[in-house]
Amino acid sequence: MSYGTHYLDGHRRLGIYTAKILNGTKPAELPVEQSTKFELVINGKTAKTLGIDVPDRLLALADEVIE
C-alpha cells in the first residue's frame, strides 16, 4: 500500500518550473509549491501473499488496485 503524491503531477510541475527559469525568472524568486494531488495504491496480490485482508471499503477508496 502506498499513499503519496501523484507521479505525473510532479513531472508536470517540474516542466512549469523549468519553463519559468528558461524564460528568465530567477530560481530564488519561484515559490515553493506543495502537491495537491495524492493517490492511494494497493497491491492486492502482495497483501494476499502476506495474509493481509484489506477491507472492501479501503479498496473502494483506492485510486489504483493491483491485482
Contacts for 20 with CB less than 8 Å, ≥ 6 apart: 30
pLDDT tens readout for residues 31-57 = 988 888 899 999 999 999 999 999 999
pTM over 0.85: no
Please check the confidence at residue 18 and state whether its pLDDT lies above 90.
yes
Q: Is the pLDDT of residue 6 over 90?
A: no
Extents of the domains making up the chain: 2-66
CA atoms of 16 and 32, how far apart (whole Å) = 13
23-34 confidence digits (pLDDT tens): 999 999 999 888
